[in-house]
């Protein structure tokens, strides 16, 4: 996986202008995906820790994992709405707010 990322990054360094739309789209997808995974994993391990500490038998792991899924979805939705608002805002020269 790391090797593939290095190869892709090297290819884009060679001619960034040619690959710019693709690279920006990839970065948005990775950002949203990592946000979802981060929320779910953090809540899972917090629930697991609390279950072991309180001896609740997995109930908190399930509840906090579900909370992580919902929280990750909300944060990802907000990120998507922010990106769409930035792209459609009038006066943005390149469509990404980088005037």
Give the residue extent of every domain in the chain: 31-99
Q: Kindly report the number of other CB atoms within 10 A of residue 47's CB atom.
A: 22
Question: Which of the two residues, 4 and 25, has the higher pLDDT score?
Answer: 25
How confident is the model over 40-82, as pLDDT tens digits?
Answer: 999 999 999 999 999 999 999 999 999 999 999 999 999 999 9
pLDDT band at 90 (very low <50, low <70, confident <90, very high): low
The mean pLDDT of 22-37, rounded to a whole number, is 87
Stated pTM of the model = 0.68
Find the helix or strand (DSSP H, E) in which 9 lies: helix 2-14
Following DSSP, what letter does each residue of 22-77 receive, concatenated? Answer: HHHHHHHHHHHHHHHHHHHHHHHHHHHHHHHHHT-TTHHHHHHHHHHHHHHHHHHH
How confident is the model over 18-28, as pLDDT tens digits?
Answer: 767 777 888 88
């Amino acid at each position: 996986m790391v090797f593939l990322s290095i190869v892709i990054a090297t290819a884009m360094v060679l001619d960034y202008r040619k690959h710019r739309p693709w690279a920006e789209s990839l970065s948005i997808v990775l950002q949203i995906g990592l946000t979802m995974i981060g929320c779910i994993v953090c809540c899972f391990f917090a629930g697991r820790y609390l279950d072991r500490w309180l001896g609740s038998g997995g109930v908190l792991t399930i509840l906090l994992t579900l909370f992580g899924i919902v929280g990750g979805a909300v944060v990802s939705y907000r990120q998507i709405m922010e990106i769409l608002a930035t792209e459609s805002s009038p006066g943005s020269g390149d469509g990404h707010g980088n005037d």
